[in-house]
Amino acid sequence: MAAVEYIVIVVAIVVVAAVALAAFLIPRRRRGQVEAPPRPGVDYQPGVGDDATAPVEEHRAPISDVTLPEPVVEAPVEEPAAPAVERPEPAAGRLVRLRSRLARSQTSLGKGLLSLLSRERLDDETWEEIEDTLLTADLGVAPAQELVERLRTRARVEGIQSPEDARTMLREELLALVDPSLDRELRTERHVEDGRPAVVLVVGVNGTGKTTTVGKLARVLVAEDRDVVLGAADTFRAAAADQLTTWGDRVGVVTVRGPEGGDPASVAFDAVKAGIEQEADTVLVDTAGRLQTKVGLMDELGKVKRVIEKHGPVDEVLLVLDATTGQNGLVQARVFGEVVDVTGIVLTKLDGTAKGGIVVAVQRELGVPVKLVGLGEGPDDLAPFDPEAFVDGILG
């Protein structure tokens, strides 16, 4: 009996082991196949293979709703924006403003003269008042006496019957005094024979607006489609080169500069050299503002001009004068004229004074014409001098 029970127990153990082994081996063979990864949007259930019942469709999410990771893109390094290059106003448009601005500043002069000439009786006292009015306007003694004498002669011969007659006569005589026959052309064109740029040397004392005038003149030339190079030869005044560079950058013009306190003649020489290499049309050279009493500095200005002339002749020497300084400007003009051969005058702040007679006086003093006038503080307030517009501005 014991043997039978032993056999039954052994058989039971063998059966249980066989069932367990079968349960273990059959799934392992199925899982030996390569299973596909779960599809996006489908719920994955462990133990369910490709041959199992397909998942219920309502568990599938639309592909468009799947959020994919954003690609990592490095932000580009931003380069500093280049300053915008301005397009200056053509010189022709500036002439329109000349008459109106002169009329505002010279009204007292014109009205005073017309009022005196329109009197019923032009006696000696009236003519003395006319001469005093002209002297107050900085016309100068000799030009004032000359103008009065010519007006007296015409009034005696032709007569003045109306205010309009007085205006016509005064206009004609003032215009003759300003002398429209003078050559006011600004020589800024490149030399055709050798391709050398025109060289313009700008001189004047401190405070006349010389560096600003150079910057404004560059704008005039750029408006005429000229290629310009600036020379910052004012190496003594702090930030003068920076000021000129700023003017140049605004219109896309190169500025040649040197170390502060360096040799101005060397900077001027390098500026002209750069103009030749770049085939520029014009080189504008700014110089230090020099007091006419400082002989050493004036001699240095002569040196600057001589060094530039190693490249070729200087085409223009422009003397910048402040119109509000009156007769003192004549002293400056005289001394500068002795050091360098001034070819033209630039009168700044002409719209801020009623002393327009300085135009005639300075032309008489140097024998050279006023070529440019400054009419305000704006960047395009520099214009070619027009004798007729000037006289009409005086008369209003």
Please list the rounded mean pLDDT of every run of 10 residues in the chain (396 residues).
Answer: 66 69 52 44 44 47 52 53 68 65 65 87 91 87 92 91 89 93 94 93 88 94 94 88 93 92 93 96 91 70 92 94 81 83 90 75 91 85 87 79
pLDDT at residue 221 in the model = 94
350 is in an annotated binding site: yes
286 is in an annotated binding site: yes
pLDDT at residue 335 in the model = 83
Integer Cα distance of 327 and 259 in angstroms: 36
Closest alpha carbon to 254 in 276, 229, 233: 229
pLDDT at residue 56 in the model = 46
From its phi and psi, is residue 349 left (phi > 0), alpha (psi between -120 and 50) or beta?
left
235 class by beta-carbon count within 10 Å (0-12 exposed, 13-18 middle, 19+ buried): buried
Integer Cα distance of 164 and 114 in angstroms: 9
Tokens for 252, please give them. 């896309």
124 is in an annotated binding site: no
pLDDT at residue 4 in the model = 65
209 is in an annotated binding site: yes
183 is in an annotated binding site: no
What's CA 58's distance to the chain center, in Å? 71
Q: Are 191 and 283 in contact (CB under 8 A)?
A: no
Phi, psi of 121 (to 5 degrees): -125, 115
DSSP β-ladder status, 382-384 and 282-287: unpaired
pLDDT at residue 380 in the model = 84
Integer Cα distance of 322 and 374 in angstroms: 9
349 is in an annotated binding site: yes
111 is in an annotated binding site: no
Phi, psi of 306 (to 5 degrees): -65, -40
Give the 3-state secondary structure of residue 219.
helix
287 is in an annotated binding site: yes
347 is in an annotated binding site: no
Q: Are 256 and 274 in contact (CB under 8 A)?
A: yes
305 is in an annotated binding site: no
206 is in an annotated binding site: yes
66 is in an annotated binding site: no
49 is in an annotated binding site: no
Integer Cα distance of 142 and 140 in angstroms: 6
323 is in an annotated binding site: no
pLDDT at residue 381 in the model = 85
319 is in an annotated binding site: no
Q: Which residues contact 92 (CB under 8 A, 6 or more apart)?
A: none
